[in-house]
Amino acid sequence: MNRALRAATMGVLFLSPVVLSACSAGQVTQTASQERDKTGAQGQVGEISVRQAELVNPRSGSYERGDDAELQVALVNGGTEADTLVGVDGEGFGSAEIESSGTGTSTGSRGSDGEIEIPAGTSVFVGSDEFTVTLTDLDEDLTSGQYIEVTFTFENAGEITLPLTVATSSEDGTRGEAFDFHEEERTAEEG
């Protein structure tokens, strides 16, 4: 065998596993059937992590101008000292109402009126029965996937602004009739 033929044969033998392994790429992806484990906006300010922040999907399918929208968010304090959510502000809504039932069943505790305390090393889930934040008097209509900028203010950690989208409905929607793209062509041919 000459050198050129031997080099070509060796190249094919070395590259064939790479080529063969790529043959199935894209055919049946492992991620096609997996649901993303994290939804909503995320960010960190100081020792506070804001996770899965979004507007709850409304029962009607969309928010209309003037409606109130409830937030759903996990607040995680990775620090060694307690911190407190003292305000929620932004454009696109009138005000934010921070409420706590004060039952003490969650790891968070009730701060003074309009505040939620997040103890050190714990998580507080806003949007649960115990803690709620409601954005009042929306400035415009909002549907799934649309967002508004919301600023969370913590007593120690400071401020963080995140784009909060309207969550996608977990219910299956009914499918309407398919659109016929060729109807116009048939109408023109008949007429």
Residue 6 has pLDDT above 70, yes or no: yes
Is 124 a domain residue? yes
Domain with residue 60: its CATH number is: 2.60.40.1890
Is 58 a domain residue? yes
pTM for this predicted structure:
0.68
Domain limits for position 146? 41-165
Is 112 a domain residue? yes
Count of domains forming the chain: 1
Residues 140-172 as b or e (16 or more Cβ within 10 Å = b): eebeeebebebebbbbbbeebebebbbbeeeee
Is 48 a domain residue? yes
Is 52 a domain residue? yes
Is 117 a domain residue? yes
**What pLDDT score was predicted for residue 29?**
57
**What pLDDT score was predicted for residue 105?**
43
Convert the pLDDT of each residue in 124-178 to its tens digit: 999 988 899 999 999 999 998 899 999 999 999 999 999 999 988 766 555 567 7
Convert the pLDDT of each residue in 36-88 to its tens digit: 555 789 999 999 999 999 999 888 888 999 999 999 999 999 999 999 999 99
CA triplet 155, 160, 165: central angle to 5 degrees?
130
Nearest partner of 40 among 71, 65, 63, 82, judged by Cα: 71
d(CA 70, CA 97): 9
Convert the pLDDT of each residue in 79-126 to its tens digit: 999 999 999 999 999 999 999 876 544 444 555 568 999 999 999 999
Is 60 a domain residue? yes
Query: Do the bridges between strand 62-63 and strand 131-136 make them parallel or antiparallel, or are there none, so unpaired?
Result: unpaired
